[in-house]
Amino acid sequence: MGATRVEAIRQRLQEAFAPLELEVIDESHRHVGHAGARDGRGHFDVRIVSAAFARMAPLARHRAVYAALGELMQTEIHALAIRAMTADEQENSNG
């Protein structure tokens, strides 16, 4: 089920943002027994690099990612860590 969820997340983000880079990691195994994981939804980490984030504040980027994921946020995702940046921001963070 985890691979299917990762692919669903990837597909939605690809369609919405045409990212230069996209990494989706299922970290659900790290949260076994966690109260929020009892309903079967997963924990994911997303790193996405896209020109679509230019001139967007961090909160707006997160809201855009949530919107792109739509109902997956209620049915498949319990927790989502998001690192959303432009190519310039990624380059500057890499030194």
Contact between 38 and 4 under an 8 Å Cβ cutoff? The reply is no
Instruction: Give the pLDDT score at 86.
Output: 97
Instruction: Give the pLDDT score at 78.
Output: 87
Asked if the model's pLDDT at residue 36 lies above 70, the reply is: no
How deeply is 81 buried, as exposed, middle or buried, from its count of CB atoms within 10 A (0-12, 13-18, 19+)?
A: exposed
Instruction: Give the pLDDT score at 70.
Output: 96
pLDDT in tens, 43-85: 899 999 999 999 999 999 999 999 999 999 998 998 899 999 9
Say what the pTM is: 0.86
User: Domains of the chain: which residue ranges?
Assistant: 2-93
Closest CA to 48 of 2, 12, 5: 12
Q: Thinking of the domain 2-93, which architecture would CATH place it in?
A: 2-Layer Sandwich (3.30)
% helix, strand, coil for the chain, step of 5: 50, 25, 25
Confidence band, pLDDT 50/70/90 cuts, at residue 87:
very high
